A and B are shown apart, each in its own frame.
Chain A
Amino acid sequence: MTAAQAETAAPAAPAVRKRSGAAARTGWTILAWLVGLVFFFPVLWMVLTSFKQERDAYTTTPRVVFTPTLDQYRAVFSGGIGTAAANSAIATVFSTLLVLLLAVPAAYALSIRPVKRWRDGLFFFIGTKMLPIVAAIVPIFLAIRNLGALDNVWSMVVLYAAMNLPIAVWMLRSFFLEVPRETLEAARLDGAGVRQELTEVMLPVVAPGVAATALICVIFSWNEFFFALNLTATRAATVPFFLVGFITSEGPYWAQLAAATTLASLPVLLAGWIAQKQLVRGLSMGAIK
C-alpha cells in the first residue's frame, strides 16, 4: 500500500486542529526516524567498518571519520567468497524453483474444498516445519553419504526445498483463496480442466503471491546455515559456511569480517528492500484466510 492511499484514509481534520496536527506529525516523524536508525545502526556500522583499516576498527572510542579503503573487500574476494556465493546462488535459485513447482499445485489443491481433510493436509505441512530438523540430521547425513552426495550443491537444493515447502504451501494457499469465486465458476462452466483452471484463471491472479512466496524462500535458503555446516565442505560450501571458516582463520579481524558479512548479506538485503511491499503482503496472507 502506498503513502497516497494512507493519506486518503486519514480523516479530514478540522481546521482548528491543523497546527497541533503538524506538530504531532513532526514529533512522530522524529520518533520514527530515531527508532529506524537505532534498528538500522548495527547494519550501518557493519558497512562503515568494512571500509576501515583494521587499526581504525579497533578503537575504544568508535571512529566515524577515517580514510576509506577497499582492502578488506579485496581480501574477502581473494579468500574465495566467489565460489561460496556461486554455490549459495545455485542452491537458492533452484531450490526456490523446485518449491514453486511443488507448492503451487499443492496449494491449489488445498485451497478448494474437494480435497477431503484439507485441514489435516495443511496441518501436516506446517507440522513438519515445527519438527526440529536437527533431530533428523544423522539419517539425512548417512543417506546423503550413501548416495555419495556429501559436499554437493544439489543435496542442498533438495533439502532447502523441503525446508521451505511448508511455508510456501501455506502462503500460496491463502493467495489462491483470494481468487474471486465468480471467475472460477465462470471458467468451470466453460468446461475448463484442472490444468487450465490453474494456469489460465488462477496463476495470473496469484502471480504477486507467487513472487512474494519466492522471495521468502530466497531469504531462507540464502541464509541457511545448519545443513551447510554439516553437509558441505569445499565444493558446495555456501556463504554462511564460508563466513565461519574465512573469518576466524584470519583471527578476529573486524574490518575484514565486516566486509565479508556485508557481502554475504547484500543480495538478500537488496532483494528485500526492492520487494518489501510483497513481503508485507506475503507474510500476512495466512492470517486473513
Chain B
Amino acid sequence: MRVSGRRPGRPTMPFRAGLTACGLLLATACAGAGAAGGGSGQVVTVAVVSNPQMTDIKTLTPEFERAHPGVRVKYVSLPENEARDKITQSVATHSGVFDVVMISNYETPIWARNGWLTDLQSRAASTPGYDPGDILPNISKSLQYRGHLYSVPFYGEGSFLMYRKDIFAAHHLTMPAHPTWGQVAALAHKLNDPAHDRAGICLRGKPGWGEVLAPLDTVVNTFGGRWFDPSWNATLNSPEVNQAVSFYTNLVRTAGEPGAATSGFTECLTDYSEGNAAMMYDSTVAASTLEDPTSSKVVGKTGYVAAPVQRTKHSGWLYTWSLGIPKTTTNKAAAWAYTQWATSKQYIKLVGDKLGWARLPPGSRTSTYQLPQYKKAAGAFAGPTLDAISHADQSHPSVKPVPYTGIQFVDIPEFVDLGTRTSQQFSAAIAGQKTVTEALAQSQAYAATVAETYRTAGKG
C-alpha cells in the first residue's frame, strides 16, 4: 500500500481546527454555566407533561420561589408519550431523579398499590386552606387508593364535542344538545371542505394510549364494545369493537384533518383554533385555549355539547393530570410545599390575576366554578365541562359489565404497553397502512396475552 504524500512537518492546520472546535465548545460551556447561574438551597425537580397549563405554571413559578426562599424548582417537560415513558421509568426503578411527578388517574392507584407513592391524605388534610374536600368528587375518587389521596389534581378533564357555531349557521345546520355519532358523522361529511383547508371534524389519530385511544375508547364503549369480559377474555374481536373502530377510522379518513395519523391533542387544538376544522371531539381543557384571544382565531365562535353517544346514555372520558410525590423523594416537605401550591385555590386565582381568567387550570376544584371572574370568562364551557366530568363513570364504562375500572384505559399495569401497542395498530389503520380488521386481529392477540396472565393468576 502506498504512503500518501503528506508532509509530516505540518501539523498546524489540523491542530488549529481541533483547537477551534475545543474553543467553541468550551465557550458554549462558559456561556451556559453563566446562564445556569448559582442559587443554593433545595432543588425540587418536577417532571411534567408539556401542555399549555404547564407552560403557565413555569411562568408563575418565581412566585412560589419568592414565597419559599431556599427552594428552587426545576422542570423537565416533555410531550405526553415521552413524559409518560420517562416518569414511569424513573419511578418504577426508584431512581429518585424526580421529586414531584405529573401522573394521572391511571397511574395513581396502581403505583400506590405498589408502594411507589407517598400517601398525601394527611398532608392534604392538615395543610391550612388546602381543603381537599373542594376537589371535584369524581376526580378525587379517581386519585384514591384505599380511601387515601396519593396524588392531587392539577387539572381535570372530561371530553365533549366542540363545533363552530358560525359555520353551522352559515350552512343552516343545527347541533343537537345530545348528539349521536351517526348525527356527528353526517354533519362532518357535510362540512368537510379540504379545498378550503377545512376538516369536517378533528379527531386524534396519533399513537399512544393517551392520544388516539382516549377518544376511540369512548366510541368503542358507547358502541357496546369492551376490552375484556368479566372472566378476562379479550374481546377486541367482537363485532361491536369492529363496528366502532371502523366507524372512527372511516370518519377521520373521510372527513378528518390531514395528517390524522400524527395528530394528537396539541395538533387538533392548533387545527381547530386556526379555523381549520368545523368540529372537534376532544378534552374539555381545549376550551381554555380556544377562548383565549392570544392563542385562538375562533374565540366566541364555539358551541359545546356533550360527548356523542350511540348505545350508552353518556360517553366521554375522565382524566386528570395530577401531581404525586415518589416514595424515593428525600425532601418531602419541599416537594409537598410545591405540590400543594400548584394545586391550591390560591394558584388558581394567581393564574387568573396574572394570565387571564379563561386560562385557569379547569376541572380540579369546585371553588373554581364559583369564582365570578371565571364564570364570566368561561361561561360558554364551564357548565358543559362540569357535566362531562360528573357523568363519567369509571366503573361502568360500557353497555356490558367489565372486570376493570377506567373509561379510556384499563386500570392494570400492563395497559401502558397494551394501550401503546394497540394504539399503534389503530394509528396504522388511520394512516391507511393496515385494514381495521388486521389492526384488530393484532390487537386482540396482544390483549389475549395480557388476559391470560389474569386468568391464570385468578386475579380480577
Contacts and interface: CB of A to CB of B under 8 A. Distances in A.
B18 A178 contact: no
Nearest to A145: B95
Interface string A232-261: 011101000000111011111000000000
Nearest to B23: A271
B76 A245 contact: yes
B17 interface: yes
A71 B45 CA distance: 28
A278 B10 CA distance: 13
B186 to A, nearest CB: 29
Interface of chain B: mostly helix, strand, loop or mixed: helix
Chain B interface size band reads 35 or more
Contacts of A77: 35
A275 B14 contact: yes
Nearest to B24: A267
Given A145-B95, A212-B14, A271-B24, A248 B29 contact: no
B3 interface: yes
B17 A250 contact: no
B345 to A, nearest CB: 26
Interface centre among B35, B74, B90, by most chain A C-beta atoms within 10 angstroms, is: B35
Nearest to A80: B35
A83 B90 contact: no
Given A205-B8, A289-B1, A218 B25 contact: yes
A83 B34 CA distance: 8
Given A82-B35, A211-B15, A245 B78 contact: yes
For the complex of A and B, 9 pairs with smallest distance between CB atoms: A86-B32, A82-B35, A275-B17, A249-B50, A89-B29, A271-B21, A211-B14, A207-B11, A211-B18
A288 B1 contact: yes
Nearest to A214: B18
B26 interface: yes
Interface string A72-92: 000001001111111111101
A134 interface: no
Interface in A150-174: 150-151
Contacts of B28: 85-86, 88-89, 267
Interface string A7-40: 0000000000000000000000000000000000
A84 B32 contact: yes
Interface string B27-53: 011111111100000000101001010
Contacts of A88: 25, 28
Interface of B: 1-4, 6, 8, 10-11, 13-15, 17-18, 20-22, 24-26, 28-36, 45, 47, 50, 52, 54-55, 74-79, 82, 86, 89-90, 93-98, 266-267, 270
B20 A275 contact: yes
Given A151-B97, A248-B50, A218 B4 contact: no
25 contacts: A82-B33, A82-B35, A85-B31, A86-B30, A86-B31, A88-B25, A89-B26, A89-B29, A93-B29, A145-B94, A207-B14, A208-B14, A215-B17, A233-B76, A234-B76, A245-B50, A248-B79, A249-B55, A249-B79, A252-B267, A271-B17, A275-B14, A277-B13, A288-B1, A288-B2
Interface string A187-218: 00000000000000000110110111011001
A141 interface: yes
A145 B93 contact: yes
Given A211-B15, A267-B25, A274 B31 contact: no
Given A77-B35, A249-B77, A251-B270, A230 B14 contact: no
Contacts of B52: 251
